[in-house]
Each structure stands twice: as structure tokens, then as C-alpha cells.
Amino acid sequence: SSSLVSADVVEYTFEVGNVTVTRLCNERVIAAVNGSLPGPTINVQEGDTLVVHAVNKSPYNLTLHWHGIFQLMSQWADGPEYVTQCPILPGGKYTYRFNVTAQEGTLWWHAHSSFLRAWVYGALIIRPRLGHSYPFSTPYQEVPIVLGEWWDSNVMEVEEEAVQFGGAPNISDAYTINGLPGPLYNCSQNQTFQVEVQQGETYLLRIINAALNEHLFFKIARHTFTVVAVDATYTNPYHTDIIVVAPGQTVDALLTANQTVGSFFMAATPYQTRTATPDAPLPDTTTTGIVVYNGSTSTTPLMPTLPAHNDTQTANNFYLNITGLEGGPHWVPVPEVVDEHMFITVGLGLDSCNLPNDTCRGPNNFRLSASMNNESFVLPVGRGFSMLDAFYQNATNGVYTRDFPDEPPFVFDYTDSSLNISLGFAPRSTKVKTLKFNSTVQIVFQNTAILSAENHPMHIHGFNFHILAQGTGNYNASRDESKFNLKDPQIRNTVAVPFAGWAVIRFQANNPGVWLVHCHIDDHLTWGLSMAFEVENGPTPETTLPPPPADLPTQC
Ligand code: C2O
């Protein structure tokens, strides 16, 4: 065998522990990986084996998720707490080990336990293996741009508020670029991400939205981008002056330094379509970093013109115009025959308040909740098994049931306001949809836009999917099937289901195990906007869930 193309084992140790950081003038104790915020950037080549030794020295339960990695036959390394593993308890450790194959570009990793991902996250960059190259000219340099969200408080308490009181959105105190808020925030002049560029050179920006709750617009003054990949799948080159990125998504974009000397702000600001109320003000702050041309004397950077926070037209344009690089590296054609059709409503609702009336902060003293097909998902905490372990041991009783519905319990229709009531009080459950090994699933995600009119970035663990079409209003098969792009649709792991609209996706269930599906807005996730697929074992030992690693945490 040729040693020139042999794959490597790439090894990291992630020690998660308390560290004191200062942001917005205040010192805060946070849990972070190896003392840094964001955590370390992981660099691998396609085909490598990645080994991460997670050591939990924090006071919190911990799991790590490799967002967008297929985990083909390494299911026990996926990470969502109570789904594929029990938490790594304080003082515990677990080694994540998996192959990174059949995908290239920018992914990321984050804690998948409570709101811990506000502090525990970083980039995961997959470059072509030796002897292979990008399907675009080699950039002069690559720049990870990890967008985050900062709370001037303990994020565990912020989550507790969301869960207990179901209150108005917990608006963070700042957005950040590579952990830094930038000069538009208090005391942050010296906490500004800066990148130096050479005039005439082209840079590959690897943009990740690691924010907990907000979609973001991203711009750089006087510069344009060429999008070349999303969610670690190559796209046809798409020219734009603005990038839209939902929580969970990534965008790889080329930036040519084609201005004369000077300095320019890069800026990220929320895209948010819901209406402000006194209880739920809109997030309206902006994080900035600086692009400075080599040799420039310090000047005040130029600020880009940002769209309005509710500029749906701009957001939709971006999402609708991206197509997949048909025939490019790791291209997967759209599976033609659909075995399972699902229609899934995604949206918010209400739940009764178990606290004295005046302590729940949702509308009319209820708490907010969220559901898929009118089922509000609850993790099987305290049942003794993770869902994957229950599947492996054939002991699912008391852990989950197999009756997640293929459709909502009524025909969804925007024009029927009585549906707001029926969707209002979804029962809490832990239901999965069972799929035959290798079956092809098509899902229409219908955004109900009840109570909160906003996009829901739906993420599926374990699989990429083709986005066949998206649109506004009620999905209507006889009208909308004609819009399906079956030739070169974008391939993603997270689709921003548009506000008051729908998106249709298709994927092949080629990996046995239990795979979480959820809204990547963490508020919505804690309220139950989640379900899971249980993919049956295939016919051979190579397509059967392997036994768990010996060090897998077992206290659920
Ligand atoms: Cu990026 Cu279930 O996560």
C-alpha cells in the first residue's frame, strides 16, 4: 500500500476545567477546554482517525459532540448526553475515537450537555488528504471565524431560567468573533479579533455560527465573498457581499484583499424575525473584528452597512442561491427512491407552569415549550441507559418508545388560527421514528411560526442531507414538488427552516444507531424541539452497531 496517501491518527487531549476570563469589564469563572475560549481548533485531513481524550475537571456534567461528523460505525462517539452516551461526570474521562471520511471543509465541536456549549466549543477543520486539493485555487491563508455568544452571567443559570420559567428569550450580553466582542461593546477595545492581510491575496474564511440562540448576518466593509462550501460540503462558487449563518451551520468563503491599504470592520449581527415585546426585547448588538492591510498605519476601520435585523429577503436569497458542487469531491447524488415520507411541524407552544403563577414568564403565566409533530421531547434522564445503549441491549422499555408520528395530529394550516391552540400544549415524550437500514427518508419541515416567528435551524446527527426546496407559507405538495432541485442541491447537516415557511430534505439512513434531530437554537432545544431516529442494524457485521468502548460513561 502507498505510504504517500496513508491516513494518520490525530490525537488531542481536551481538559475541561474552570478558568477566569474577563469580558465586558467583568471577571467570570467559566468552564473551558484547555483554558481557552473558543477551545482549540482541530486540524485533520480527510481519512484521518481523530482521537480526543476528554478529561472533565469542571463541576458540570460533560459530553462532546463533533457537529456534522457522520460517525459511520463509531456511533458511541457522537456525544449528545443521554442519547449516545451518559454524561462524563466531574472527575471523569472518556476518549472519543472516530474516522473522518467522505467530507471536507469546516465543521466544529461543542459540548452537548445543558448550555455548556456557550463556553465549550471550537473549530474542526478537515482538509483534503495528501495528493488531493481544493476544488478552487489554493488560498494564501486560512482564517477560522468562530462566531459565539457571551453571557455576563453563569450560563447554567441562564438555562435553568429558560427551562423552569420558560421565559422570554435569554438575550446574551455580546456576540463574539473568536471569543472577542470587539470595540462596539463596553471595555472591549482591547478584545478585538484582528487579521492582517496582504493586498492582492485571497483568504479562505471558515465561518462557524456557534452562537446559542441567534442566526447571524456577517459582512466585511468594501469586500465581497465567494462561498465555496457550507457545512463541510462543496458548493458551486456563489458571489455575495453578505453571509447568513444559522446556529450550527458553517460557511467557507473566499475573500480577496482587493482594496488599497486601510482597515475594515468585519461584523456579525443577529437576523431575527420575531416581534419585540417588553418581556422579550430583540437582540440588537453587533460584534466586530478588524481586517487590516499589511503596511497600513492605524486608522479608524470602515464599518459595513448591515441589513435590518428582520431582513428576511436577504436571508432567503442567501439560502436559495446556494447549490451543491455536483460531481465535486465527496459529492453524493440525490437518492431517487423515497422509502419514508414524513411531514414534521416544528415550533413553539406552551406548557403548564408548575410554579406559583407569577413565576412563569411565558405568555399568560405559562412557560414556553416546543415540539415536533406536537411531541415535546424529553431526554431519558435517570433511566439507567442512554438511548443508544438501550437500543444496543434491546432494553428500550422505560427509555424510549417507537411511536414518533409521521405527521402532525391534524392538517397544519396557517390560515386556521384554532391550530394555535391544538399545538399549544404538546405532551412531553421520548419518541423515536424507526428506520430500516439504508432506507431513504424525505422530510418536509413545516415551521409553525406559532408564538414566535423565527427560523428553526434543524440539525440531524449522523447524516448529511440534500435540501431539495424551501419556501414560505403552507407546504403544498402538488405545487411545491415541482420546485425540488434533484440535480445539484446544497448538502448540509443543519437547515434553517424559514420563518413561516418550510424546507424539504432527503437523506439515506446508512448508519445504524440512535440519532438526535433538533433545533440548534438552545432555548428551543431545552423546551423540547427535538426527536430521534432509530436506524436498525444492517444485514452484515460491518453494518451492525459495534459494542461500546470500555471507557464509555454508564451513569444515566
Ligand atoms: Cu451541534 Cu445536537 O448539535
Amino acid making up residue 237: P
Q: Is 169 in the pocket of ligand 1 (CB under 6 A)?
A: no
| pLDDT given for residue 500 in this prediction | 85
| pLDDT given for residue 128 in this prediction | 97
pLDDT of residue 501 exceeding 90, the answer is: yes
Residue nearest to atom 3 of ligand 1 (CA): 67
| pLDDT given for residue 358 in this prediction | 63
Q: Is 461 in the pocket of ligand 1 (CB under 6 A)?
A: yes
Domain with CATH 2.60.40.420 in the chain: 1-133, 135-323, 340-543
Q: Is 459 in the pocket of ligand 1 (CB under 6 A)?
A: yes
| pLDDT given for residue 418 in this prediction | 72
If DSSP states are collapsed to H, E and C, what string results for 22-66?
Answer: EECCEEEEEEEECCECCCCCEEEECCCEEEEEEEECCCCCECEEE
Lowest average pLDDT, out of 99-113, 131-145, 443-457, goes to 443-457
Across the chain, what does the average pLDDT equal?
A: 94
| pLDDT given for residue 149 in this prediction | 96
Distance in Å, CA 479 to ligand 1 centroid: 32
Ligand 1 atom with minimal separation from the 494 CA = 1
- 259-304 pLDDT tens trace: 988 999 999 999 998 888 777 788 889 999 999 999 888 789 999 9
Which whole-number Å values give the CA distances from 236 to 135, 136, 138, 315, 380, in the listed order? 10, 10, 16, 18, 42
State how far the Cα of 509 lies from the Cα of 536, in Å rounded to an integer: 9
- 415-425 pLDDT tens trace: 887 766 555 78
Q: Is 212 in the pocket of ligand 1 (CB under 6 A)?
A: no
Q: Is 248 in the pocket of ligand 1 (CB under 6 A)?
A: yes
DSSP 8-state class, residue 481: G
State how far the Cα of 273 lies from the Cα of 275, in Å rounded to an integer: 7
Ligand 1 atom with minimal separation from the 110 CA = 1
Contact 440, 508 (CB under 8 A): yes
State how far the Cα of 529 lies from the Cα of 514, in Å rounded to an integer: 17
For residue 380, the Cα-to-chain-centroid distance in whole angstroms is 22
| pLDDT given for residue 296 in this prediction | 85
Q: Is 80 in the pocket of ligand 1 (CB under 6 A)?
A: yes
How many C-beta atoms surround the C-beta of residue 446 within 10 A? Answer: 25
Residue nearest to atom 1 of ligand 1 (CA): 67
Distance in Å, CA 182 to ligand 1 centroid: 27
pLDDT of residue 4 exceeding 60, the answer is: no
Ligand 1 atom with minimal separation from the 80 CA = 2
E-only strand ranges, 73-201: 93-99, 105-111, 121-127, 141-150, 174-177, 194-197
| CATH dotted code for 1-133 | 2.60.40.420
Which whole-number Å values give the CA distances from 417 to 117, 234, 387, 471, in the listed order? 36, 41, 36, 20
Ligand 1 atom with minimal separation from the 108 CA = 1
Domain spanning 135-323: CATH 3.40.50.2300: no
Distance in Å, CA 146 to ligand 1 centroid: 16
State how far the Cα of 88 lies from the Cα of 461, in Å rounded to an integer: 20
Q: Is 206 in the pocket of ligand 1 (CB under 6 A)?
A: no
Residue 2's pLDDT band, with cuts at 50, 70 and 90, is: very low
State how far the Cα of 450 lies from the Cα of 536, in Å rounded to an integer: 34
| pLDDT given for residue 422 in this prediction | 57
Q: Is 524 in the pocket of ligand 1 (CB under 6 A)?
A: no
Q: Is 79 in the pocket of ligand 1 (CB under 6 A)?
A: no
Q: Is 67 in the pocket of ligand 1 (CB under 6 A)?
A: yes
Architecture of the 340-543 domain: Sandwich (2.60)
What mean pLDDT comes out for the span 63-91? 98
Q: Is this prediction's ipTM beyond 0.90? A: yes
Distance in Å, CA 526 to ligand 1 centroid: 12
- Provide the grid cell at 485: 432541485
Q: What are phi and psi of 268, to 5 degrees?
A: -125, 130
